[in-house]
Amino acid sequence: MAFNHRIKITALLRTAPEQQDITVMGWVRTFRSNRFIALNDGSTISNLQVVVDFENTDEALLRRITTGACLRVAGKLVASTGSGQTVEVHATQIDILGDSDPEKFPLQPKKHSLEFLREIAHLRPRTQTFGAVYRLRNTLAAATHEFFQGRGFVYWHSPIITASDAEGAGEMFRVTTLPMDGTAPRLEDGSIDYREDFFGKATNLTVSGQLEGELGAMALSEIYTFGPTFRAENSNTARHLAEFWMIEPEMAFYDLEDNMNLAEDYIRYLIEAAMSRNADDLAFLDQRLQEEEKALPQDKRSDMGLKDKLQFVIDNKFERITYTEAIDILLNSTPYKKKKFQYEVAWGIDLQSEHERYLVEKHFKKPVIVTGYPAAIKAFYMRMNDGCEPGRETVAAMDILAPGIGEIVGGSQREERLDKLLARMDAMGIPAHEMEWFLDTRRFGACPHSGFGLGFERMVQFVTGMTNIRDVIPFARTPKNCEF
């Protein structure tokens, strides 16, 4: 049996059975009655049933067919008489490629909690739930490239190590080769002398590729980045990761409306790709979510199932409102009047997750794009809106809010006017001399341009229905946790 003759299970399940000889490989999910093996190779949510002629099979070999063991099976593909499958393999030869001690293998055929599975994240891809999640993650990544490449965008590689802080948040991971034992060189004021460091200056892991993305857009018209970003934010919640992936397109000659239209089209494209290519995975996750919600109080349950929710997003235009309209809706809402919101509602606040979820899940019951946020709570590079009343200055920002998770996209039209940008940087204490390279895009051939960032894990959450962001990335990086 040659390894290169292997056929994936997903292909076999779609093949007409004609007693043809096939070779299949995978891991044992279950083995019952010393006769029926449920085999899975990760290519599909579905297992392939392998029927063993146990009366003519060595007992020592049968004892080695345990949950988690890896097999190579040669046999004939035949029509199945069992329920739930159309084909099965009648084995003529079974080789054990890798044994699995049933006393020690932690993934026995029973229901495991997501908390337990996070502790064995190196093995959880072998479960049905996480196999489905990671296949969907793959589809969404491939569809991302298809979407932007199909529209003539250039894939732009922004740096992982940078000396700038695009968000102005200061929550960054430091990158250094200087010793951490207290012997690092210091300046007269006692601070570390980063001139002696590898890069000759203080550097950190990137929080965003946006600023470098703007440089690409100013030459290539339309670019997109897709890579890891890092936030040293001590948020131990189901919504935050310290390492996560971002998609950040930047487009010359786009205003805010162009930006919103692109983001809405992109989200819709991703969902359509998932529904057409991973129907079985979504059906499984839909059923899983329904079972999970049965344990919740009635008022905490979703109004529609996972597949219905995704189809609803495809079929309906996103609601578009201003920040001021959003605040008015919240101030007139029943939860606000009954003091059910944990956080205060007033013009000028940064909308909290509970506010965002009320807007999309209770009020509009569909995704919402909020525009025109107060300048005071947004980044320095966002374009100042003209004609604002004093004290109520706003920027041409837009956030897309999705049911179940809140903000999924944040973007804006960028401030292309050098004088306005310099004034904003000065007001926010951002030293212009450190950003000369960025300011050159406004000095030489400036033009209206826009962009947005989509948190990839939040998109995967939305499509899979997983409630904890740690369950949609293979190896979660969170406060006090950097395993595997």
How confident is the model over 164-185, as pLDDT tens digits?
Answer: 765 555 589 999 999 999 999 9
Give 229-253 pLDDT, tens digit per residue: 999 988 888 878 999 999 999 999 9
Give 376-386 pLDDT, tens digit per residue: 999 999 999 99
By the 8 A CB rule, do 112 and 127 touch?
yes
Reported confidence tier of residue 301, pLDDT bands at 50, 70, 90: confident
Q: Say yes or no to pLDDT of 157 above 60.
A: yes
Per-residue pLDDT, 235: 81
Residue ranges matching CATH 3.30.930.10 in the chain = 126-172+207-471
Q: Say yes or no to pLDDT of 303 above 80.
A: no
Assign a CATH topology to domain 126-172+207-471: BirA Bifunctional Protein; domain 2 (3.30.930)
Q: Say yes or no to pLDDT of 3 above 80.
A: no
Write the CATH number of the domain with boundaries 3-110.
Answer: 2.40.50.140
Per-residue pLDDT, 472: 97
Question: The whole model's pTM is what?
Answer: 0.94
Q: What angle do CA 413, 419, 420 make, to 5 degrees?
A: 40
Reported confidence tier of residue 196, pLDDT bands at 50, 70, 90: very high
Per-residue pLDDT, 237: 82
Reported confidence tier of residue 32, pLDDT bands at 50, 70, 90: very high
Reported confidence tier of residue 302, pLDDT bands at 50, 70, 90: confident
**Exposure b/e, 8-39, CB count within 10 A at least 16 = b:** ebbebbeeebeeeebbbbbbbbebeeeeebbb
Per-residue pLDDT, 297: 82
**Exposure b/e, 229-245, CB count within 10 A at least 16 = b:** bbbeeeeeeebbbbbbb
Backbone phi, then psi, for 278, in 5-degree steps? -130, 45
Per-residue pLDDT, 165: 64
Q: Are strands 203-205 and 394-402 parallel, antiparallel or unpaired?
A: unpaired
Residue ranges matching CATH 2.40.50.140 in the chain = 3-110
Per-residue pLDDT, 389: 87
Q: Say yes or no to pLDDT of 347 above 70.
A: yes
